[in-house]
Amino acid sequence: MKTGCCLSEHQCKIGVLVSGRGTNLQSLIDASREGRMAAEVSVVVSNRANAPALDRAKKAGIPGFVVNAVKGETKEAFEKQIGEIFNRHGVNLVVLAGFMRIVSPWLISRFKNRIINIHPALLPSFPGLSAQKQALEYGVRLSGCTVHFVDEGCDTGPIILQTAVPVLDTDTVESLSERILKEEHKLLPKAVDLLAKNKVKVTGRRVEILP
């Protein structure tokens, strides 16, 4: 099965889910506008009204929305609002770029194999929060970043691309995070570009990058 995000005759339109500062969002906007990625950021949705990522979207002239999780409301109801925004903007690939919520099976099935996430560690090592701190405390000599498909687990979906960076004796969480982040900004647009060009084939857990 070939799992490109977009049929080749359609443009790849990304919906980006964010919660924070949005440097990965910025890397997607820049790569698209500089012609390094065959996809455009169509809409940005944040679950936090004060996320600096929304300012980046605004500055780039990209529509940004805040969707609040209401207490007592189901995750599905929350995500249906996101789904509607994505529908209105013709989104055919969803990118989680620092989105601090686990997405539910509803959104995952709505965008089957078309939701990806960037994680600041070499999965399956150090999933979840504070991945860089986990790596430092474990004492690994290499860490890095991973772009993977999102499934029902926490950072468990099939791996698309990874980049390794060294962990130095002198590293702090900040210095390691910075080294990894630089690579994230290259890896995420690269993964989106491959998906947009239908060059990603998924068979079970195995992902093949086609020439």
Would you please indicate which residues are annotated as catalytic (active-site) residues?
A: 119
Residue 197 binds ligand GRF, judged by CB under 6 A: no
Structure token digits, residue 50: 């004060």
127 binds ligand GRF (CB under 6 A): no
Q: How far is CA 167 from the centre of its chain?
A: 23
CA distance 182 to 189: 12
Among 4, 15, 22, 157, binds ligand GRF (CB under 6 A): 22
* Binding characters for ligand GRF, 151-190, by CB under 6 A (x = yes): ------------------------------x--x------
- Taking CB under 6 A as the criterion, the residue among 83, 98, 144, 158 binding ligand GRF is 98
Q: Mention every residue, 6+ apart, whose C-beta is less than 8 A from residue 169.
A: none
Q: How far is the CB of 208 from ligand GRF (least distance, A)?
A: 24
Answer whether the bond into residue 124 is a cis peptide, omega within 30°: yes
Token reading at 100? 């601090």
Give the interface size with ligand GRF as a residue count (CB under 6 A): 13
Q: Which range binds ligand GRF by CB under 6 A, 18-26, 40-48, 75-83, 160-168? A: 18-26
Mark the segment that binds ligand GRF (CB under 6 A) among 20-28, 33-41, 76-84, 103-111.
20-28
**Cβ proximity to ligand GRF, 9 vs 34, nearer residue:** 34
Break the chain down into helix, strand, coil percent, rounded to 5: 35, 25, 40
Q: How far is 98 from 119, CA to CA, in rounded Å? A: 8
* 3-state SS, residue 132: helix
Among 114, 119, 148, 179, binds ligand GRF (CB under 6 A): 119
Residues 50-79 binding ligand GRF (CB under 6 A) are 53
Q: Rule CB under 6 A: say whether 20 interacts with ligand GRF.
A: yes
Residue 162: both structure tokens together: 């990874």
Tell me how far apart the alpha carbons of residues 187 and 179 are, in angstroms, rounded to a whole number.
13
Other Cβ atoms within 10 Å of 52 Cβ, number: 15
Q: Which residues bind ligand GRF (CB under 6 A)?
A: 20-24, 53, 97-98, 118-120, 181, 184
